[in-house]
Structure 1
Amino acid sequence: MTKEIPLLTVDNLSISFADNHIVKNISFQLERGKTLAIVGESGAGKSLLAQSILQLLPYPHAHHPTGEITLGGEALVGKGDAVLEAIRGNKVGMIFQEPMTSLNPLHTVQKQIAETLLIHKGMVGKQAMQRTLELLTLVGIDSPETRLSAYPHELSGGQRQRIMIAMALANDPELLIADEPTTALDVTIQKQILALLKSLQQRLNMGILLITHDLHIVKSIADDVLVMRDGEIVEYQAKQALFDTPKQDYTKLLLDAIPTGEMLPLEEPELLLTASNINVSFPLRKNFFGKVSHSLDAVKNVSLQVHKGETLAIVGESGSGKSTLAQAILQLTKSRGKVVFLGEQIDAIDHARLQKLRAKLQIVFQDPFASLSPRLCVGDIIAEGIEVHQPDLTPQQVQDKVMATLERVGLDKHSASRYPHQFSGGQRQRISIARALILNPELIVLDEPTSALDRSIQKQILALLLSLQEERSLSYLFISHDLSVVRAISHRVLVMKSGEIIEQGTTDEIFNKAQQEYTQILLSSALL
């Protein structure tokens, strides 16, 4: 009996750009109906490897000094456009990491899915429409008929990701390449997407090549795992063997980077901030006379307290009102309700007094690259706040404070003269923390500060935040959808849904004795 040919074979493959060897001597096989996860930190070469399978790299600037890629016995490296176009979107589907940038903003959902049906199946008109509706139903889009004419910006993150999956599956591919398919999604949507991929794999006997840095996902869906670092294979094992008995130190480091542990409640904490009956509404429509006729209630009668040296986590799905609530507390969004900080009612004070208090209320945003000015060097970015709030300091005193703060967040003094684009994601987040820290705040709002970071970098940032908290008795309002991170860093947790608090308590109470069904669903979806 002859052995079945593997669906995908990558043999001794290298990728170079000009004379720089980026990926070196990679070999693996993927069987039909199986999932191979490729893991590693940013810059390991995972996405380059995935793109090379479809020959999507910028050839000839990119080239393969060694190796071959074989799909069902057919060699792909160096093949012409006619061969590759017959494979792309037909035998091999690909889900890209960021659907908003991968989907055409000028075309409707129907047109984008129908395009691949036309190219590979020759489907048009009613037949293409019927198949498009089948695909939208298959990937779990509610009322698919109403989504055919929608544009990408009119859909949620989870819906856009489902549209990407529908496009990738349009022609029943033999191989699906999924590049970080759930990175920016809520845990409930993430669980739905993974369950969908698994059920489609069983139905189509499809091979899945999954690229991710989330080891919770790897543990739940993969059959085999390939660990990459600096363009090379570090370890290649069956999933269970890799998690139970990792052979290499780097693999152990990745596994050890999964956040663990819980914070103990503070004893007799001192009250720092109280927010009472916070409400935020956004106008949706006005009548002829300019009065608001329809509005969205984004935050509804929310009350909370934050104590000195405490981390209060706010969790919930996208659109639940987490960030809006934080902005209302910081007086960055118009709201109704009472906010008392350091004994002063800050929603009722004048602008000049509020500006002085802002030094004590700081925020670190989710995307440091977007929140750091590309025109300023790091030293100027960090100094900007202190020059506003402490104008009497001499230039030398400002520089000394900047250098000391950079050192405290783990960056060297030479970083001050460089620009944000010259740093990694983890380093940019350290810069954002330094910018907030230099003003010696009492409370820092952390809005998804680790969601886009590798687990190992995430662990470093969390360790830094915990160290700073212990050293300075800092308080954090920590917004996140990553419940393993929340569990590791927070003293208390507040759960939001549709603008309201549905449950709150100590971290132990929420994670081990949750009362509300919604909280239980969030926890079960988090793959903890």
Structure 2
Amino acid sequence: MSEQSCLLKVDNLAVSFADQNILSGVSFSLEQGKTLAIVGESGSGKSLTALSILQLLPYPHAHHPSGDIIFEGESLMAKSDAVLEAVRGNKISMIFQEPMTSLNPLHSIEKQIEETLLLHKGLTGKKAQLRTLELLELVGIDNPASRLKAYPHELSGGQRQRVMIAMALANEPNLLIADEPTTALDATIQKQILTLLRSLQQRLNMAILLITHDLNIVQQFSDHVLVMCKGQQVEYQATQALFDSPDHQYTKKLLNAVPTGKMASLVDPKVILEAENMNVSFPVKKNFWGKTTKSLDVVKNVSLKIHEAETLALVGESGSGKSTLAQALLYLNKHTGQVVYLGQSINTLAKDDLQALRQELQIVFQDPYASLSPRMSVQDIIAEGVHVFNTDRALSDQDINEQVSQVLIKVGLDESAANRYPHQFSGGQRQRIAIARALILKPKLIVLDEPTSALDRSIQKQIIELLKALQKEFSLSYLFISHDLSVVKAVSHRVLVMKAGEIVEQGFTSAIFENAQHPYTQELLSSTIL
């Protein structure tokens, strides 16, 4: 690569916090119009490298013992705030991993996009609004004029990510840093976002630094790959060369971590939960007296069965009603329809009986960091449910502590983890804690709502193997909600495909993947890089 074609050069970069070295020996270069993917497990230093480029680390607590970052021929290291502010959001932009936390919940979409236009271009009023509309149209937001006054919570995950891309592209940067831009998105939306980024890259001749844990995306969309492990660069190759002939053992481990296999058929399984004609509606408009005059039907006449020791996968795009249906099955929202658990209608249960039943019906949420209280120790988090249901004081505190220790070991964590807090664990470890919290109550059915979507492939594989082992040992039933069809293929016995609140196709996993009948299912499968 010639010096003239090199847009960004990182040379022997190191990062330390106080006296502890976190990152070292990172070197790479990136040409205009090309894509470099940085891959590795959580904690490997991917995002730390990206934040160093923009000099967004908490200086002076953080510092660089060695290395240089050269952008357009000039070093960015130790530059003044004025120089860096002229680069950030202007020449170098960044799309952060979680748009819901990156976007300001108190400001409209219009205001947030116009802020960067004002800062770097001085645009205000009508000119700023026209440019905002142009950007929203560019990233594929339907009817952008109607979205200007919308707030982040009023948009779907895919729409929020498109808004983040619009903000990042507002000033047509030369370099776009995309930190896990598609992690929590459905297969169809993920494909749309990646196709969008590629088309915008070609149109603007923009370089992209792509941080991701999805190696399928890396293989499809990058020119070069940098592999990181525990703060060290372990491999740096052209994409195809790396996939054809990886050099480092860690790279080989990552490539072998793609979910594989299929679930064995169940013999004469017992129905554990059955739902008939489930409907969920949310009010969207009320009159002066508070009476609902307009409703949005989110779940429409859904019926399903879940068998003992079975994994039933529920797939579909964001907004299709998957999580809403799961919450209705657990009586966590208002609905109509009947739910029968082990032959008993839940609809007729008194409040106290329903509360007691919750011990057997548990849920593990998508984001373990958000679902685990940061103010509670792991011991208190896992034991909380036991204390709730230990109304007759049959278990002493020592008994409960022993159960916590046992369940921690069961999910692959050390007993000493009980005395620590969620922020002291990686994403995969936090998800194991969330599984332990559900498992300690000895449930018969666990709803798994996107339990692996935010995890690296290698960690994802560990969690999947853990769930399979627990299912086999305890005959657990799972309702597995996911947008990752490669995971669904590996873990589920049957699949329900949901679109706009309705089940459009269902069947055994092998039949769905080999011979999908509904056009929507076919579209989902064609959008997935399996």
Q: Which segment is superposed worse, 448-457 or 193-202? A: 448-457
C-alpha displacement of 1:421: 3.0
**Alpha carbons 2:360, 2:445 under 8 Å: kept:** yes
RMSD: 2.0
1:121-140 superposed matches below 5 A? 121-140=121-140
Counterpart of 1:324 in structure 2 is 324
TM-score w.r.t. the length of structure 1 is 0.95
3-state DSSP class of the match of 1:347? helix
Counterpart of 2:116 in structure 1 is 116
Give deviations 1:470-515, integer Å, cap 9, x for gaps: 1121111111111111111000000111111011111111112111
State the alpha-carbon separation in 2 of the partners of residues 336 and 153 from structure 1: 26
1:68 aligns with 2:68: yes
State the alpha-carbon separation in 1 of the partners of residues 231 and 63 from structure 2: 15
Counterpart of 1:410 in structure 2 is 412
Q: Which segment is superposed worse, 226-235 or 356-365? A: 356-365
Q: Which segment is superposed worse, 489-498 or 172-181? A: 172-181
C-alpha displacement of 1:309: 0.9
Q: Which segment is superposed worse, 257-266 or 514-523? A: 257-266
State the alpha-carbon separation in 2 of the partners of residues 285 and 220 from structure 1: 44
State the alpha-carbon separation in 1 of the partners of residues 289 and 298 from structure 2: 24
3-state DSSP class of the match of 2:6? coil
1:472-487 superposed matches below 5 A? 472-487=474-489
Question: What residue identity is the alignment partner of 1:405?
Answer: V
State the alpha-carbon separation in 1 of the partners of residues 371 and 82 from structure 2: 44
Distance 1:433 1:106, change over 3 A: closer
**Alpha carbons 1:39, 1:212 under 8 Å: kept:** yes
C-alpha displacement of 1:69: 1.2
1:311 aligns with 2:311: yes
Counterpart of 1:386 in structure 2 is 386
Distance 1:494 1:27, change over 3 A: same
3-state DSSP class of the match of 1:44? coil
1:362 aligns with 2:345: no
Q: Which residue, 479, 495, 498 being the options, matches 1:496?
A: 498
State the alpha-carbon separation in 1 of the partners of residues 125 and 398 from structure 2: 71
State the alpha-carbon separation in 1 of the partners of residues 340 and 106 from structure 2: 47
Counterpart of 1:238 in structure 2 is 238
**Alpha carbons 1:265, 1:506 under 8 Å: kept:** no
Question: What residue identity is the alignment partner of 1:408?
Answer: K
Counterpart of 1:347 in structure 2 is 347
State the alpha-carbon separation in 1 of the partners of residues 214 and 464 from structure 2: 16
State the alpha-carbon separation in 1 of the partners of residues 118 and 292 from structure 2: 46
**Alpha carbons 2:276, 2:337 under 8 Å: kept:** yes
C-alpha displacement of 1:171: 2.0
C-alpha displacement of 1:425: 2.1
Give deviations 1:42-76, integer Å, cap 9, x for gaps: 11111121111122222222222211111121222
Give deviations 1:405-464, integer Å, cap 9, x for gaps: 221111222222333333222222222222222222211111111122222111111111
C-alpha displacement of 1:469: 0.8
Counterpart of 2:295 in structure 1 is 295
State the alpha-carbon separation in 2 of the partners of residues 288 and 78 from structure 1: 59
State the alpha-carbon separation in 2 of the partners of residues 158 and 84 from structure 1: 30
C-alpha displacement of 1:311: 0.3
**Alpha carbons 2:175, 2:208 under 8 Å: kept:** yes
**Alpha carbons 1:90, 1:171 under 8 Å: kept:** yes
3-state DSSP class of the match of 2:359? helix
**Alpha carbons 2:5, 2:32 under 8 Å: kept:** no
C-alpha displacement of 1:520: 1.4
State the alpha-carbon separation in 2 of the partners of residues 343 and 152 from structure 1: 42
**Alpha carbons 1:5, 1:73 under 8 Å: kept:** no
Question: What residue identity is the alignment partner of 2:430?
Answer: R
Question: What residue identity is the alignment partner of 1:514?
Answer: A
Q: Which residue, 462, 469, 472 being the options, matches 1:470?
A: 472
Q: Which segment is superposed worse, 125-134 or 472-481? A: 125-134
TM-score w.r.t. the length of structure 2 is 0.95
State the alpha-carbon separation in 1 of the partners of residues 104 and 371 from structure 2: 26
1:195-274 superposed matches below 5 A? 195-274=195-274
Question: What residue identity is the alignment partner of 2:160?
Answer: R
Unaligned segments of structure 2, at least 5 residues: none
Distance 1:2 1:316, change over 3 A: closer
Give deviations 1:13-56, integer Å, cap 9, x for gaps: 11222222211021101111110000111111111211111222
3-state DSSP class of the match of 1:7? strand
Counterpart of 2:186 in structure 1 is 186
**Alpha carbons 2:317, 2:483 under 8 Å: kept:** yes
